Chains A and B, each alone.
Chain A
Amino acid sequence: MTIFKHQNRSRLLTMLLMAMIAFAIELPSAWSQQMVGGRKYNSGNQFYHPLNQRTPPGVAGQWAAISGQVQAGYIQPMQVSLPSKGVVTFYAGSVDRKIQKASPAPIGFSVGYVYRIKISGMPEFPGVELYPTIELIDRLHPPAGLAETYPVPVSLNPEDIELALSGRMVTKVVYLERPQTAVPAKFERQPTLAITAKKNLIAEADLLGRPMAIIRMGGRLPSTRGDDPAFFGSGAPVVELKNNRTQN
Chain B
Amino acid sequence: MGKKKKALSPELMLARAEKLFHRGNYPLAKKEFEKALQGLSSPKRRIAGGLPGGLTGRRVSTSGPEANRMVEQKDVSEKIEICNKEIQRLKAEDLVKRAKKYSRKDNPREAIRCFERAYGITGEDWIRGKIDRLREILFAHDLRRAAKDAEITGEYLKAAELYEQAFTAQEKKDLLVKKARCLVKAEKYGEAVSLLQNLTLPGPRARYDYGFALAKVGKYFQCLKIWDSIDSQDDRFLSQKKAIGSLLAANLHDRFSRAEGFASIYEEGKYLLNSTGAQGLSGVVEYCKYAWIEELWKEERYKAIADLLEDSPAEMEPALLALHAKTCFKLAEKSKDSLDDFTMFWLTAVFSEKSEDFSTEAAEGDKPRRELIQMAEDLIKSKIKSGDSAAEEALIFWNLEKKLVEDLHELIGDQVNFSNSVCTPRFAARFGKSAQILRVVRDKRSLFENPEHYLATGSYYSAAWQSLYYLECQDYENALISLPETNDGNEFEDYGVKKVNFAYGLHCLEKGQNPPREYAETATALFDMVPSYEKQLIERALNAHELDKMRYYEKLLHDIHRTRPSKQIEDPLSLVMTRLAIDLYDRRLIIPKSLEITLTEALSLNPENELARNNLNDLQLVLKIKELDQAIGRNKMNKACKIAAESEDYEVRNHFFDFFKGAVESLDEMGLGYENKIGALRDIYKWCIRVDDAHPILYDIEDMLEDLEGR
Chain A complexes with chain B: no
